[in-house]
Structure 1
Amino acid sequence: MNNLIKIILIFAILIIAASVLWANHQNQMYEDTFQSEYQYDVSIETLQSLHNVTLYLPLPSDGNESFLSEALKSENNLNKPIGWNCTITETKHGKMLQITAHEIDPEFHSTQVPIEEGQSEGPNRTINESTEYSEDTPVPYPEGFSIYQNADHELNTKNPLENETTFIPKYNIKKVTNQFPNEDNENVKTYQYESRLYAKYNTTPENTVDISMSFMGMNNWWIYGWSGNQYHEHLSITLEGSQDGWAPIEGEIVTGEGNYR
């Protein structure tokens, strides 16, 4: 009986030791691979040419400094379309991204060929591009840019509105029901708000322009597979005809998505 008890105790000790070693190993992998980063995207889609363009767009900011302050100093970090001039300017709604261009032309692409059943890849086909709609190029294609930047701290993705870089300006923030509720993740919260955008350009009365911006803050790590958590927000507006002034733009931010340790 005493021998059986000793054997059970030895097994228990071995299991506990193995569990501690495994937990330490996972913690070390977490610390070695952990990274936090931001992503900012701007997209403009027009069906006809825009002339003498000036835009003021909401910027990600922590309240003191713009997310783009450093990125704008290096053209290598800003893969903007040719002819776009991007700077940060002070406005009555705070610091915003100013985009100026003599002209922004539309871009249309040919349709993609769907992959047929049984094929691993679609047939080789050159994507045709044009600045005008045609039967060969019927698909409007947005122009824009993306910026990725590492963060210098672990992001508070559960409560970014009070603690992290998010779009400014924000007015009339209200919590709303999650569009895609997840019972397994009670951290997810959705907020809607109103921001501002300034647009000045000449175009035809029937032209429509879709402007959208998105921003995401992410924590990522690798423990036998990538995992992480994030918050993300999106702003979009459709403008018709020539513009010369400020316009309200609707935004939404989703917080607390992903996995937490």
Structure 2
Amino acid sequence: MSRKAILALLLAALTLTAGCSFLAPNPESYSSTYDYSVGVDATGTLEDVTIRVPLPQVDGETVVDADVVAPNGTVEAFDATVVETAYGPMLELTADEFVVETRYYRFVEEDGLGRREEISESEYDPSNPNHQRVDQRTVRVHVTQEATYPIETRTPVGESPTFYPAATRELADCRVPYQDETACFDYDAPVYLSYDAPADARVSGSIMLTGSNEWFAGGWTGNSYTDHVTFRVTGPRDGWIVANGTTETGRGNYPSPEP
């Protein structure tokens, strides 16, 4: 065999070996997580409040317990616990009173950094673009929990935790198309709202779960699915409502490597 042929074979072998090392994940280079968040906004004071929103579940069991969402049993102004309902385990938020007061702020810059500071009503100037009036109160909670790799993200319903796995999901247009693997589904999502409130008080909520796989193969990449429930109502409430549910599946890169 000629010297050039031997050199060509060595280069080919080196390229193949380097390519395999570059592309294949090692045991430390992949992970899976669940991200769960709840947000509630109100523009008026609520009294005698009970709100129940979905928790991610699979086979009737939640993967995010109350001690993870609310380690001390509270989420800001609410007491928080997990309750069983006809729709599976849900996060229950309760309060004797959820006070909403108008607050005023101004934006200031110091040393090249901007920040917002609260001011009095008398200091507030509605014509000043650096002044802000806030007529609502917002409560947010967000937790991240590690999961066993890999999470099923293309067909998660029944395989991975979702909201309302028994709900009838109908194929819908995705707001942001990604690639051929991505699909979106709409469904009815029961949420329990009970409180006294002014007739013009608006209450809205956003509950989201994202299951993600990540791995390193010459750069970080991954795939995910998202389940999202939203509602917006006005005035007092006393019972179950039908919120909007959307499940987005197959976002990211496929196939994912096996550990």
TM range (shorter): 0.7 to 0.9
Aligned counterparts of 2:183 and 2:108: Cα–Cα separation in 1: 37
Per-residue CA deviations over 1:98-122 (Å, capped at 9, x if unaligned) read 111122233666577599xxxxx86
Structure 1 unaligned residues grouped into runs of 5+: 116-120
Structure 2 residue 101 is the aligned partner of structure 1 residue 104? no
Aligned counterparts of 2:180 and 2:246: Cα–Cα separation in 1: 18
More displaced stretch, 121-130 vs 145-154: 121-130
Aligned counterparts of 1:24 and 1:105: Cα–Cα separation in 2: 58
Map 1:95-134 to 2 at 5 A.
95-106=89-100, 124-128=114-118
Q: Contact 2:211–2:224 at 8 Å: present in 1 too?
A: yes
Aligned residue in 1 for 2:7 = 10
Structure 2 residue 69 is the aligned partner of structure 1 residue 80? no
Choose which of 188, 195, 201 in structure 2 pairs with 1:194: 188
Structure 2 residue 58 is the aligned partner of structure 1 residue 68? no
More displaced stretch, 8-17 vs 56-65: 8-17
Structure 2 residue 142 is the aligned partner of structure 1 residue 152? no
Q: Contact 1:170–1:194 at 8 Å: present in 2 too?
A: no
Aligned counterparts of 1:222 and 1:109: Cα–Cα separation in 2: 46
**Percent identity over the alignment?**
24
CA spacing shift, 1:105–1:17, aligned 2, 3 Å: same
Q: Hey, which of these two has a bigger chunk of helix by percent?
A: 1
The residue type equivalent to 1:58 in the other structure is P
Alignment size in residue pairs: 246
The Cα shift of 1:129 comes to 7.5
Aligned counterparts of 2:232 and 2:44: Cα–Cα separation in 1: 14
Structure 2 residue 234 is the aligned partner of structure 1 residue 240? yes
CA spacing shift, 1:28–1:198, aligned 2, 3 Å: closer
Q: Contact 1:85–1:99 at 8 Å: present in 2 too?
A: yes
Aligned residue in 1 for 2:18 = 21
Q: Hey, which of these two has a bigger chunk of strand by percent?
A: 2
Q: With structure 2 as the length reference, what TM-score do the two structures score? A: 0.82
The Cα shift of 1:70 comes to 6.5
Aligned residue in 2 for 1:227 = 221
Q: With structure 1 as the length reference, what TM-score do the two structures score? A: 0.82
CA spacing shift, 1:129–1:225, aligned 2, 3 Å: farther
The Cα shift of 1:164 comes to 0.4
Aligned counterparts of 1:79 and 1:25: Cα–Cα separation in 2: 46
Aligned residue in 1 for 2:205 = 211
Structure 2 residue 161 is the aligned partner of structure 1 residue 165? yes
Q: Contact 1:59–1:97 at 8 Å: present in 2 too?
A: yes
Aligned residue in 2 for 1:181 = 177
CA spacing shift, 1:249–1:17, aligned 2, 3 Å: same
Q: Contact 2:167–2:187 at 8 Å: present in 1 too?
A: yes
